[in-house]
Amino acid sequence: MLDILYLDDYLAIVHKPAGWLVHRTPLDKGETRFVLQTLRDQIGQHVWPVHRLDKGTSGVLVFALSAEVARTLGQAFETGEGLHKTYRAIVRGWPLPEGWIDHPLKRMPDDMRTEREESQAAQTRYATLRRGELPIAQGEFASLRWAEVQLQPLTGRRHQLRRHMKHMAHPIMGDATHGKGPLNRAVAAHWGLQRLWLHALRLDMRHPVSGQALSIDAPCGPEWQLWAEPISD
């Protein structure tokens, strides 16, 4: 059963578990857990995904209950207009206290369309919330520096947060595509848990039909307490 955060005649918003695909895909034929099919069976009606969260990402995920509402919201999620998304992530290293990432991103190979720009503008705001170290040797260093950051994407590009943090040389822990494999394996072995440490914490948006302001929260799971250390100076 999925944790349904909001439900009316137009929208269904759920707390997506880490490790679940949004929908079936031939790229991951062995997976058996799909949010779309589970939600459809749970509420007894068809649903349309409005946006994506990667398989490893947990948190707020929006579905429409009609194709028309899905089209309206899908465009808003791509441009970021009228939406405020807040994420939590654990990254390698100690980023600056806050900053702004304005770095265009090329379309992913499976997202190319004719007569569409190959590169898209992409902006992300970040703030460092917590810093710490793990007793994991990294080259000449005896420990691994990490930070918990708040991320707010201003646009909705594929893998935007993961690619932007890699661009900043602070990849998200557990990112098998944009991070470092040996580092990810070392962290997973240290905690006894393997996951992408990225969570969609909060979504602020206008209801596509009523115009009502919605604020949807999905608290981080208990596994995030593994990183609960005092902020380092």
Which of the residues are catalytic? 54
SS3 readout for the chain: CCEEEEECCCEEEEEECCCCECCCCHHHCCCCCEHHHHHHHHHCCCCEECCCCCCCCEEEEEEECCHHHHHHHHHHHHHCCCEEEEEEEEEECCCCCEEEEECCEECCHHHCCCCCCCEECCEEEEEEEEEEEECCCECCECCEEEEEEEEEECCCCCCHHHHHHHHCCCCECCCCCCCCHHHHHHHHHHHCCCCCCEEEEEEEEECCCCCCEEEEECCCCHHHHHHCCCCCC
How far is residue 51's CA from residue 12's CA, in Å, rounded to a whole number? 12
